[in-house]
């Protein structure tokens, strides 16, 4: 079994040695750990913290960063993004996903929950770069009950591939939204997810137009109420956005144990609305984690900037500076994100899966260092991340990711083909 020693790191204000055996934290000790190890990282001057878990994104959309900015959502989707995506293929998505993973690793993220076209390419990229990922069996219907042929082919290929993959990656069922997938299909996909103890990933209550259309089509129901009427809300239902929530919606989400993925920057950029953090989370008790959404609507994969925006927005919307304190936001981006997807990680503790970051304590953004959670949420950025470890594998050391130049070159070529 491979071993990795992290020597003399700062963890919760203490100087410790951390021994990783295989893919788990074996020993955390204030006394030096003696022995011979496959690899040793000298972590003096480094702070050991959990990494980030990105609850919702479309990774390969990195290739469309800056492509169609400053537009209304449906105009953005129907007149710009969807026509561009018609030119996607497996090679383009693979290159775009690797670019996204590179950006995520450099900013401290080791897991992403994806929903995108040509999902087998997403799976291959995640495996090749040794990160964790939830890969979507996506549904976007061309007519009610008939999935897009590209998705049908991709979903079948995923089933053939997943058996030979590491346990860092797994499949979800991902109907795109209530306006692109009919009710019967929404129920059918949820039944499959429940039978397999998988996850059900969907965009919900993102725009005012979605709210109005749902009410007209489904007897005045909100999207949350409609999904609940279909019986598809439970603890493994992961709902991106949830910007527009009635009080009854919040009660339903809490009682069903479903998870909201708050995408603060995307919601702001597309003017989708303001997530009611105080009503839904502070008072409503809804399980909530953070996600970046895709780079076409954010335009960054950094969970640092996502945390800061989420915290500041929550305070402004609630008119209350005590809402969304730094420690709560940080937990949503780390431990809560991991727990949502059944990943036994997100904290640095013996027996947990070995996911971790080493931060450079000498970075000016972490000085003077009165409160680490506050520093991470309100001040830090990707320049603070020195080393990234996922599942016991060192993905970045001394801010170097192996093969970075090749990944960027391939992404530039793919973007040129897409354009």
Say whether 45 sits in a helix, a strand or coil. Answer: coil
- How large is the average pLDDT for residues 316-324? 98
For residue 5, give every residue at least 6 positions away whose Cβ sits within 8 Å of its Cβ, in sequence order, or none: 17, 18, 19, 20, 33, 35, 37, 39, 40, 41
Task: Return the pLDDT at 152.
Answer: 97
User: Does the pLDDT at position 276 exceed 90?
Assistant: yes
For 335-368, write each residue's pLDDT tens digit.
999 999 999 999 999 999 999 999 999 999 999 9
Q: Give span(s): CATH 2.30.40.10, the chain.
A: 3-50+353-399
**Does the pLDDT of residue 73 top 80, yes or no?**
no
Asked if pLDDT for residue 69 goes beyond 90, the answer is: no
Q: Which listed CATH number (3.90.650.10, 3.20.20.140, 3.40.50.970, 3.40.47.10) goes with 52-340?
A: 3.20.20.140
Contacts of 29 (CB under 8 A, 6+ apart): 16, 17, 18, 19
- Judge contact between 64 and 87, C-beta under 8 A: no
Predicted confidence (pLDDT) at residue 84 exceeds the cutoff of 90: no
Question: Which tens digits make up the pLDDT trace of 7-19?
Answer: 999 999 999 999 9
Note the pLDDT tens digit of each residue in 196-254: 999 999 999 999 999 999 999 999 999 999 999 999 999 999 999 999 999 999 999 99
User: Does the pLDDT at position 71 exceed 90?
Assistant: no
- What mean pLDDT, rounded, does the chain reach? 97
Residue intervals of the chain classified under CATH 3.20.20.140 are: 52-340
Largest CA distance in the chain: 68
Round to whole Å and give the CA distance between 1 and 18. Answer: 16
Q: Tell me the pLDDT band of 70, cut-offs 50, 70 and 90.
A: confident
Give the CATH fold of the 3-50+353-399 domain. Urease, subunit C; domain 1 (2.30.40)
How many CB atoms neighbour CB 15 within 10 A? 13
Report the pLDDT value the prediction gives residue 413, as an integer from 0 to 100: 95
Residue 213: what pLDDT? 97
Predicted pLDDT of residue 72: 78
């Amino acid at each position: 079994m491979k071993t990795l020693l992290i020597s003399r790191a700062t963890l919760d204000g203490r100087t410790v040695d951390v021994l990783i055996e295989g893919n788990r934290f074996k020993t955390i000790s204030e006394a030096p750990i003696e022995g011979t190890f496959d690899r040793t990282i000298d972590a003096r001057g480094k702070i050991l913290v959990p990494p980030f878990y990105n609850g919702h994104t479309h990774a390969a959309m990195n290739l469309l960063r800056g492509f169609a900015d400053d537009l209304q959502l449906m105009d953005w989707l129907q007149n710009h993004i969807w026509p561009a995506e018609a030119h996607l293929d497996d090679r383009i998505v693979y290159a775009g996903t690797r670019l996204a993973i590179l950006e995520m690793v450099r900013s401290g993220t080791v897991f992403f929950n994806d929903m995108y076209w040509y999902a087998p390419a997403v799976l291959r990229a995640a495996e090749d770069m040794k990160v964790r990922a939830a890969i979507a069996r996506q549904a976007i219907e061309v007519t009610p009950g008939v999935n897009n042929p590209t998705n049908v082919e991709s979903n079948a290929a995923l089933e053939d591939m997943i058996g030979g993959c590491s346990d860092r990656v797994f499949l979800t069922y991902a109907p795109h939204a209530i306006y692109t997938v009919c009710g019967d299909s929404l129920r059918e996909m949820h039944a499959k997810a429940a039978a397999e103890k998988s996850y059900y990933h969907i965009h919900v209550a993102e725009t005012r137009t979605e709210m109005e259309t749902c009410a007209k089509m489904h007897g005045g129901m909100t999207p949350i109420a409609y999904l609940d009427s279909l019986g598809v809300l439970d603890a493994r239902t992961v709902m991106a956005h949830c910007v527009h929530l009635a009080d009854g919606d919040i009660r339903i989400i809490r009682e069903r144990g479903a998870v909201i993925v708050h995408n603060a920057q995307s919601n702001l950029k597309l003017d989708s609305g303001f997530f009611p953090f105080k009503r839904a989370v502070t008072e409503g008790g809804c399980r909530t984690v953070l996600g970046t959404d895709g780079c076409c609507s954010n335009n960054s994969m950094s969970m640092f900037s996502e945390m800061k925006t989420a915290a500041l927005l929550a305070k402004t919307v609630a008119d209350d500076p005590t809402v969304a304190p730094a420690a709560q936001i940080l937990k949503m981006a780390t431990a809560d994100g991991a727990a949502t997807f059944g990943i036994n990680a997100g904290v640095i503790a013996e027996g947990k899966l070995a996911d971790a970051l080493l931060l450079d304590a000498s970075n000016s953004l972490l000085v003077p260092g009165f409160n680490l959670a506050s520093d991470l949420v309100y001040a830090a950025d990707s320049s603070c991340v020195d080393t990234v470890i996922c599942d016991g594998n060192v993905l970045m050391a001394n801010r170097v990711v192996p093969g970075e130049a090749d990944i960027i070159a391939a992404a530039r070529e793919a973007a040129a083909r897409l354009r």
